[in-house]
Structure 1
């Protein structure tokens, strides 16, 4: 785990959103702040169900009061004073995005044995059951 990942891990955990075991930290962070996953949020501050908006409000308030926020604002001011500016449109190519998302999907499939591998086993058993129906029926129409 690199230093930035560790800082995110600590930040979310200290605000009541610890990353569950065997869960990719990026996926956990996105589920915490993405409104599409409101139904999936089961635990938050004080082990109660909260909405994404409340989670975001808690995280923003905590970040603004943190030392990290002050350091980042100071670094932004220094970059601005040196004549630096933020580049817009700096995005990975569609091929790189596809590779990264495919790799992440495969890692999730590998880790979630209860869903993907069990599902594969059920499909194999189903194929064998259906296959036995047509086994050795001959080549005539009777």
Structure 2
């Protein structure tokens, strides 16, 4: 993983402690909302009057929502003006676009920290636990 992403994770965990994504969003002043986004979109972020906001699909399970929140936190912090739907169905953009790769690395690392996952554990079981695509295993 890129050193600057590791440094950002270290900064956040030192400043706010290890917590879930929703607590981190609150501490960072990011508004999180839940809406039915259909079956194709897990979540997205935007800014309204300079207030960052994450919208997460309320039809996905809580563990996946937590991962989506981490992913969108990273975009808000490091990809200003970047606005795309996270894991839109029938796309591989979550691995082909550098911004998506960075946000996914951040998300996976934060989930590993929060849930105490170790390298000895099975990567695919970890991804299944969060209902994330197996294609992300290449980032771990």
Which category describes the TM-score, using the shorter chain as reference length?
A: under 0.3
- Higher-strand-fraction structure: 2
Which structure has more RCO (C-alpha within 8 Å, separation ≥ 6)? 2
Structure with greater helix share of residues: 1
Give the structure with higher Rg (CA).
Answer: 1
Given the two structures, how large is their TM-score scaled by the length of structure 1?
A: 0.25
